Amino acid sequence: MRLQNKVAVVTGAGSGMGKAIATLYAKEGAKVVVSDINADAANVTVEEIKSNGGDAIAIMANVAQENDIQNLIDTAVDTFGTLDILVNNAGIMDNFEPAGDIEDDKWERVFAVNTTSVMRSTRKVLPIFLEKEQGVIINVASAGGLQGARAGAAYTASKHAVVGFTKNTGFMYATNGIRCNAIAPGGVETNIGSSMTNINEFGMGRIQAGLGVNPRVGKPEEIAEIALFLASDESSFVNGTVITGDAGWTAY
């Protein structure tokens, strides 16, 4: 029960890594706010948590919308009285477009979901954490936020931005009892591929060599264990950094 009496918000928790994180947090004693753009999927996660004796609520949120983020955090606090942990997990892929093939609306959508949402939700929870002088922020970045050939230019840039934002936030508030870290997953079995619509053949062809050296694909539960470590007091000296979970993919 490493998260006993903690309140956690997890975005994109209707499936994949977010669902695994929310489920594990509840198992470890946290009250979990399960957020997802798919309300039905969020409700399924909540039902599974409750069936195992956990405490959770579902909130539909499109993290690309400021109003939804405001409502998400406000409802979490109204329901459970406070907030201790924020996990910015929601994300989408691009279609492996290189710079020359990017369309403005696609670029802006990827950044709205993957990057701007991280800033907005962090900005929203900081007054809560600063008043308590305690709080944990965990951003799900990507191996694509560390390397240049794991996706297209938009996704790669968006996740690099998340890494930079994480480091800056971790340092800025380090003396206020607030920690901010990121997880950089490699290939993980999730449904993020469903956000791809028309894969760019040139871009995909250029990253094939890197895909070929990936040791293996991970399970969402393996990323959840990293998120548990970062949320718990066991990582009290870990701040402003990125933990990579990719079976050694980026080590090549």
What is d(CA 20, CA 12) in angstroms, rounded to the nearest whole number? 10
* 155 in active site: yes
Q: Do 186 and 143 form a contact (C-beta atoms < 8 A)?
A: yes
CA 194 to chain CA centroid, Å, is 17
> d(Cα 177, Cα 148) in Å, to the nearest integer?
33
What is the Cβ-side half-sphere exposure of residue 241, based on CA atoms within 13 angstroms? 9
Reference 69, options 93, 37, 109; nearest CA is 37
Q: Tell me, letter by letter, the H, E, C secondary structure of 177-216.
A: CEEEEEEEECCECCCHHHHCCCCCHHHHHHHHHHHCCCCC
**Cβ–Cβ under 8 Å, residues 85 and 35:** no
Hey, is 141 helix, strand or coil? Answer: coil
Helices 66-80 and 117-132: angle between axes, nearest 10 degrees: 30
The active-site residue, picked from 25, 155, 173, 252, is: 155
Mind telling me the catalytic residues? 155
